[in-house]
Structure 1
Amino acid sequence: MSSVVQITGLRKQYNGREVVRGIDLNVSAGRCFGLLGPNGAGKTTTLRLLLGQSPVSGGEIRVFGLPIPQAGRAVRARTGVVPQADNLDPDFTVAENLRVYGRYFGIRLATLATRIAELLAFVGLTERADARIATLSGGMKRRLTIARALINDPELVVLDEPTTGLDPQVRHMIWGRLRDLRQAGKTLLLTTHYMEEAERLCDELVIMDQGRILEQGTPAALIKKHAEPEVIEVRGEEQLARQVLASSGEGRFEVVGDTYYYYTRDARAVVKRLEDMVGLTFLHRPSNLEDVFLKLTGRELRD
């Protein structure tokens, strides 16, 4: 499988502080590749370097086999970008935003009209083609921003936290559209804070922290490697919760605020005990990518 993005030894310094510390990435064509990490991990900086929007301090980036930043213009012509914040032009209608953006790529007006109609249908905004941006909901603006990123029919789509702040219905719709793009052969590279999003969309991902890659693999492989199969979350009387979990055998437990997390390979005995406990409530679930993320990056707050 051919590589769309190849990054070797990438480094970036700001004011003497290294925010990307020698990372290597290889993104295969037609795949969805995720960058996960807490705030300040270096995810967005990596995307900016990849797009030639900021000079590298060390290492090498190639996209479509072309060097960045030297071939930045040629690479951007084949790339669609969904930024963290929607930056639509409020002076234009929905369709006009797409039309103006399409002209930046030199797309002919006849071709552009067809492309705009297809994209508005793709993101469910056909009925809002003539609406002003100020009249759109947050979800509609996000969908339009995604449509705009596709106006040049890109081979690579870069998405920086594409569904942050959206309600579940809009988020699920966007996930469906991103899966459609992958099925159509597009390569997706995204950052996200939503672990469920990464599990659902990513064929492969890296977990970053403090500018370094901590781990890489498929979501399923990372969960199997770093987390026990079953998790019990317990809330309630502190002393009782500690007593039950501490005496439960081979599992491990963590305390976060008022919640106790118990990780185990067989939760049956603990669940049976908890079912008879007064003063405790619990949730028994399979382990997930969030458990891996928190194990690797810690649970402390990040600014």
Structure 2
Amino acid sequence: MQIEKHARLSIAPMMDWTDCHCRYFHRLMTRHALLYTEMVTAPALIHGDRDRLLGFDPAEHPVALQLGGSDPHDLAQAARIGAEFGYDEINLNVGCPSDRVQSGAFGAVLMERPGLVADCAAAMIAASPAPVTVKCRIGVDDQIPEEVLPAFLRTVSAAGVTRFAIHARKAWLQGLSPRENRDIPPLNYPLVHAMKAEFPHLHLSVNGGVTSLAEAQSHLDAGMDGVMIGRAAYHEPANTLLDADATIFGAGESSKTAEDIARAMLPYIERHLSAGGRLNQITRHMLGLFAGRPGARHWKRTLSERAHLPGAGTEVIEAGLSAIRQFAA
């Protein structure tokens, strides 16, 4: 698999969101985009329930595992485990600004320690047959991104990393919450574009603030190798992903509708329920499927109010679809 081709469009790793159910749902809308797991810390993977943390449906391919950590030995071990589970890529998180990540000396705080990131990446590359990539910020706190980012890319790429996803915002580790860090620091797309010009041999994706396929295509037209979309793909999945294969990958127009996707989820939901799972574990990712459509509010309300009830099953999806049909009539 030439993973770089799929990285032309990717769905960002998002904590509490991009679990296996979310990824299966997204995969029904795009065959080509690269999907990412939530971040899993290396110690949790080494010492925890690997099947629970890493299990995924084969239909999710191509799918990447994102790891968090700052110990080269632990990360190497975790990368090897992830590759053995069949992930197509292993990604190192150097962008998350949460307090928990900072206290563990990994995530965005590692922007201040490019040498350590290089050591971690080198260890992961040596241990993993799957390609190792890095997701980073343009800098943190009072760093000057125009100085920090090229030095970071130069140091880490020297360790063997050839593909980076760059969130085009600083992370403020003091004074802003993780939520605020997603919006308040200004976007600096020109700097990320300049990095592609300075490092033409690297595969660089831009992340942050991209809300549509048209915006994604504009970055590709400007010379970026890839675009990573986050919240837009989650909150308005059909609007964002149903045309992705045609628009971004030139794969021909999709004939699928949001209704088709909802129905295609039914066998997956039935398997999950028969294995003892709960309906709302899946439907929480489907709330935005009809965003912007007549009946979207009723769809969302139906799933929100009924999917958590004991014994809830696929009839909840059918009820939601009935509301959509009524508004479309």
| Superposition TM-score tier, normalisation by shorter sequence | 0.3 to 0.5
Larger Rg: 1
Q: How high is the TM-score relative to the length of structure 2?
A: 0.35
Q: How high is the TM-score relative to the length of structure 1?
A: 0.37
The structure with the greater share of residues assigned to helix is 2
